[in-house]
Amino acid sequence: MTKKSFAECFWDVDFCSTAGADAVLKRTKEGSQVCKDLAEFMKQKAHIEETYGKALVRLAKLPLGNQELGKTRLSLEAMRTNAEREGFAHLEGAVKITEELAKFTAFIEAQRATRKQVEETMKKWQANKKNLYKKSMDAKKLYDNRCKEADLSETEFDLKKTSAQQKDINKLQQKKLKCIHLAHQADDQYKTAIVALESTRSNWEKETEIGLTALQHLDRERLAFIRNVSWVHVNIGSLNCIQIDDLNEDVRIVLEKFDYEQDIQVFIQSEQTGTMRPEKVLYEPSCTKTAMRRAAAPDYDSTVPVLDSEEASIDNQLYESVEALGGDTGQTYRVLFDYAASAGQEEEMSIKDGEILEVLAQVDVNWCTARKPDGTTGLVPSNYIKKVEAVLHDRF
């Protein structure tokens, strides 16, 4: 591909056109904004690296694995230390990015100053050329008008010189001579304006070519610097990653020696309390009359709560024996102990100590059907209730 230059490709046949220069200046303005955006990117990246690094250093100060033993504690300590070292690596990366940012900012400022000088020179010559072109066109217009006036006056003089009086002829002649003089004068002014315009055009062309070449050089420098600063920025990140990976490798080496079975044995050796287990607690029946009768029941279940000696000493004169239930239904009974219906046994009914029930039917020795004052009906254990005075039956 043939290389072209700004100085070759940004012209226009329109004498007053600035399209070529405007396109290049627009390019430099956009390039300047790109540099500013990249500088802001680097600034934010450095800030993020610094913030993350400080956060890792703070994290490393928190306790980790102090209660563990052996290799586990060493592994966790290695992770904590690695977090701190990784934090320092990120802080170091932030410092390097900031240093590169300072160089880039200085480069941007230097380019801005040079670009401003070139742009001002180009715009100055553009303005001069445009002004002189306008003056030249005005001089040309005046020259054309003067020439037309001179031609008209000369034609008028030729037509009337043979028929007009001498006095009028003299006037026409004076007018013709004056118009011719003004036409010559306008011609001289027009020629002078054209000469000045050409001189300005030549200088404008020269300065514009110099300016376009300078702007291309600045653009080349800008792109090269962007490439270099981006390359360095990426290298900083790569070196940081390599350093962090080396730190992680140190942790992996510690983890390779990790033996959780050994740590378990260390814990056992240091904290063991003994190898003898407690013996089974055997059931010891009470010697009370109630307990003895319950134990004699055919379907006796040792899992049912047993009265202790204090509860068994309740005045037996107030209650009748559970064995007296028999077929004596429709009587009023008081609940002696709380009982929660077994899960999944919908026919059972939960009862509370002190509740008053009406026994409806004796199912067997251990269970009977009872009804609460609110009408709730269900099975309750016979040994959890005692018959009370008949007068309480009216509550139902």
Reported as a single tens digit per residue, the pLDDT across 90-127 is 999 999 999 999 999 999 999 999 999 999 999 999 99
Specify the residue for token string 């690094």.
53
Query: Would you say residue 62 has pLDDT above 50?
Result: yes
Question: Rounded mean pLDDT of 285-307?
Answer: 52
Q: Using one digit for the tens of pLDDT, what is the confidence trace for 328-372?
A: 556 889 999 999 998 888 889 999 999 999 999 888 888 999 999
Structure tokens at 318: 């107030």
Average pLDDT, stretch 176-191?
Answer: 94
Q: Please classify residue 279 by burial: count the beta carbons closer than 10 Å to its beta carbon, then call 0-12 exposed, 13-18 middle and 19+ buried.
A: exposed
Q: Are 330 and 262 in contact (CB under 8 A)?
A: no
| Per-residue confidence band for 291, with pLDDT thresholds at 50, 70 and 90 | low
Domain residue spans of the chain:
6-265, 320-395
Among residues 122, 293, 275, 126, the alpha carbon closest in space to that of 210 is found at 122
Tell me what pLDDT residue 307 has.
44
Q: How many CA atoms within 13 Å lie on the side-chain side of 57?
A: 12
Residues 138-142, mean pLDDT to the nearest whole number: 95
Pseudo-torsion of CA 233, 234, 240, 246, nearest 10°? -160
Cβ–Cβ under 8 Å, residues 353 and 363? no
User: To the nearest whole number, what is the mean pLDDT of the chain?
Assistant: 85
User: Is residue 312 within 8 Å of residue 289, measured between CB atoms?
Assistant: yes
Predicted pLDDT of residue 305: 47
Both tokens assigned to 209: 């070519």
Tell me which of 263 and 146 has the higher pLDDT.
146
Which pLDDT band, with edges at 50, 70 and 90, does 55 fall under? Answer: very high
Whether pLDDT at 322 is above 50:
no
Give the fold, CATH level 3, of 320-395. Answer: SH3 type barrels. (2.30.30)
Q: What is each CA distance from 45 to 31, 52, 59, 93, 95, in whole angstroms?
A: 21, 10, 21, 10, 11
- pLDDT at residue 326 in the model: 46
| pLDDT band, residue 40 (cuts 50/70/90) | very high
d(CA 154, CA 19): 46
Neighbour-count burial for 85-110, b at 16+ CB within 10 Å, e otherwise: bbbebbbbbbebbbebbeebeebbee
Asked if 21 and 122 count as a contact pair (C-beta separation under 8 A), the reply is yes
Question: Can you identify the CATH homologous superfamily of domain 6-265?
Answer: Arfaptin homology (AH) domain/BAR domain (1.20.1270.60)
Q: Is the pLDDT of residue 162 over 60?
A: yes
